[in-house]
Amino acid sequence: MAVAELTAPTCAKQGLGSSQLSYLSARTSSFRRLSFRPPRRTHSSRISCSVNQTAQAPVAVETEVPKSNKPECFGVFCLTYDLKAEEETKSWKKLINVAVSGAAGMISNHLLFKLASGQVFGHDQPIALKLLGSERSFQALEGVAMELEDSLFPLLREVQIGIDPYEVFQDVEWALLIGAKPRGPGMERAGLLDINGQIFAEQGKALNAVASRNVKVIVVGNPCNTNALICLKNAPDIPAKNFHGLTRLDENRAKCQLALKAGVFYDKVSNMTIWGNHSTTQVPDFLNARINGLPVKEVITDHKWLEEEFTEKVQKRGGVLIKKWGRSSAASTAVSIADAIKSLVTPTPEGDWFSSGVYTDGNPYGIAEGIVFSMPCRSKGDGDYELVKDVIFDDYLLKRLTKVLFSP
Ligand SMILES: NC(=O)C1=CN([C@@H]2O[C@H](COP(=O)(O)OP(=O)(O)OC[C@H]3O[C@@H](n4cnc5c(N)ncnc54)[C@H](OP(=O)(O)O)[C@@H]3O)[C@@H](O)[C@H]2O)C=CC1
Ligand SMILES: O=C([O-])CC(=O)C(=O)O
Distance 357 CA to ligand 2 centre (A): 15
> Does ligand 2 have an atom closer than 6 angstroms to the CB of 189?
yes
The pLDDT of residue 188: 87
What fold, for 247-406? L-2-Hydroxyisocaproate Dehydrogenase; Chain A, domain 2 (3.90.110)
ipTM exceeds 0.90, yes or no: yes
Question: Which regions of the chain are under pLDDT 50?
Answer: 1-19, 21-68
CB 196 within 8 A of CB 28: no
Residue to mutate (ligand 1; options 36, 110, 181; most atoms within 8 A of CB)? 181
CB 110 within 8 A of CB 334: yes
Q: Work out the mean pLDDT of the chain and round it to a whole number.
A: 84
Query: Nearest C-alpha to atom 7 of ligand 2 is from which residue?
Result: 318
Query: Nearest C-alpha to atom 2 of ligand 2 is from which residue?
Result: 318
Residue 298 identity (one-letter amino acid): E
Please, where in the chain does CATH 3.90.110.10 lie?
A: 247-406
Distance 189 CA to ligand 2 centre (A): 7
The pLDDT of residue 88: 65
CA 288 – CA 285 distance, rounded (Å) = 6
Number of C-alpha atoms within 13 angstroms, CB side, residue 377? 35
Return the ∠ at Cα 402 (arms to 400 and 403), rounded to 5°: 65
The pLDDT of residue 22: 45
Question: pTM for this structure?
Answer: 0.87
Contacts of 68 (CB under 8 A, 6+ apart): 78, 79, 80
What fold, for 91-245? Rossmann fold (3.40.50)
Distance 185 CA to ligand 2 centre (A): 11
Please, where in the chain does CATH 3.40.50.720 lie?
A: 91-245
Is 303 one of the annotated active-site residues of the chain? no
